[in-house]
Chain A
Amino acid sequence: MIDDATLEKVGEKPEGIAWLHSSTLGKEVLALNPVVPGWTDGEVYIPVSFWF
């Protein structure tokens, strides 16, 4: 399973931060956006790795 997370941050100082659209909040936020591959068997979810 491949998905991405929106890690919302405060301020523009952290490295790699960008304006992203948050579907949860319905607006653009300053956030990090790692792409996370995961493994699931239908009951548990295990994030295997992540790349920024």
Chain B
Amino acid sequence: MKGKPSGEAFDCTDFKTKTELAVDLLTWARQRGFGPTAVLFDAFYLSGTVVQILRKADRPWLGRIKGNRNLKRNRKKFKPQDWPRLAWPSKVRRKTRAPRLSRSAAAAPHGWGPVSVIAVRHHRDAELRCPVGSNTAWARGRIEARYGHRLKSETGFRRTSSLLGLHDCQCRSSRAQENHVALVSSAYQFPTRQCHRDESTGEVPKRLNAHAVVNAPAGHSEGSSGREGAKSETWGWGRREDFRQRCVTLEQDIRYCAKHIS
């Protein structure tokens, strides 16, 4: 980040780092009765503060450990970035040998409690990635599968940008920006709920548009108008009755989501 951060945020409240915001959000979610199966976050948020909050709330968590952290296992210390070298049995003494890469390793980083660590290297990754889970009973496959859900949030941000224009607000005030993000987040529930099992969220508007064009009344078609020379009228969401019906469906979808979240 360029420049020195000021002591106050733009809305004259105390400046908070991303980790402090994450802690506040976890406290907020706990106060409102959210009961997730596990809390998942990136390597940036894997800090002692966040882990202590989750341990106090008795919530299991998953994250990714950075390569330079010290892991302790059976009085042996090793770093995840040294894992491939130390796991090579023929070149390393038995005392300093790390657990095999193909299995999960139980470790106890300072202040985190017992955790289960695995090492994953995909074809495109230059370095080893080490997802970590708070439950030592979790096997490699379970940690890998659950940590893979993190891509859902990245996909969600990308879809909200491409479909709904998350980046497109040009207002300067923070309140307008917050309202824009809130509206986009609410509107994102519609394609999320409407998408079929075998299609992505981005394909939903295309399918609904095609459906609307097929069911359009006579005289209306995509890009055509009844008047000669007038600006072409697009036929995106079908008849007004269809639009009303879709609004009712959207309201039901939002209620369904709210019910399942709580």
- Would you call A19 and B1 a contact (CB within 8 A)? yes
Alpha-carbon gap, A4 to B177, bound state (A)? 15
Measured between C-beta atoms, what is the minimum distance from A28 to chain B in Å? 7
Residue numbers in B under 8 Å from A21 (CB-CB): 1
Size of the chain A interface, CB-CB below 8 angstroms: 38
* CB contact under 8 A between A37 and B152, given known A15-B172, A15-B177, A46-B189: no
Q: A50–B26 Cα gap in the complex (Å)? A: 12
Q: By the criterion CB–CB under 8 Å, are B10 and A16 in contact?
A: yes
B142-175 interface mask toward A, CB cutoff 8 Å, 1 = contact, 0 = none? 0000000110111111000000001100111110
Query: How many residues of chain B get a CB closer than 8 Å to chain A's CBs?
Result: 49
Question: SS class of chain B's interface: helix, strand, loop or mixed?
Answer: helix
Q: Is the interface of A mostly helix, strand, loop or mixed?
A: strand
- Is residue B40 contacting chain A, with contact meaning CB distance below 8 A? yes
Instruction: Give complex CA distance A49, B182 in Å.
Output: 8
Whether A45 touches B174, Cβ cut-off 8 Å, given contacts A3-B150, A7-B167, is: no
Given contact pairs A19-B2, A28-B2, A35-B22, A45 touches B156 in the complex (Cβ within 8 A): yes
Return chain A residues, CB-CB under 8 Å to B36. Answer: 39
On chain A, the residues within 8 Å of B174 by CB distance are 14-16, 52
> Is B112's beta carbon under 8 Å from chain A?
no
Decide if A48 is an interface residue (CB 8 Å cutoff).
Answer: yes
Q: Which residue of B lies closest to A10 (CB)?
A: B170
Are A40 and B152 in contact, with the CB atoms below 8 A? yes
With A2-B25, A28-B2, A52-B178 in contact, is A40–B157 under 8 Å at CB? no
Contact across chains for A47 and B22 when beta carbons are under 8 A apart: no
- Closest beta carbon of chain B to A5's beta carbon, Å: 5
Q: Closest residue of chain B to A33, judged by CB?
A: B18
**Chain B residues with CB under 8 A of A49:** 25, 28
A51-B166 in contact (CB<8A): no
Beyond A45-B152, A49-B25, A52-B9, 13 additional contacts (C-beta under 8 Å) are A1-B41, A3-B154, A4-B18, A14-B174, A14-B177, A20-B1, A36-B153, A39-B261, A44-B152, A44-B193, A45-B192, A46-B189, A52-B174
Give the interface of B toward A (CB within 8 A).
Answer: 1-3, 9-11, 18, 21-22, 24-26, 28-29, 34, 36, 39-42, 44-45, 149-150, 152-157, 166-167, 170-174, 177-178, 181-182, 185, 188-189, 192-193, 197, 257, 261
- Pairs A-B, 9 closest by C-beta atoms: A16-B10, A45-B152, A15-B174, A19-B2, A45-B156, A15-B10, A3-B153, A35-B21, A2-B41
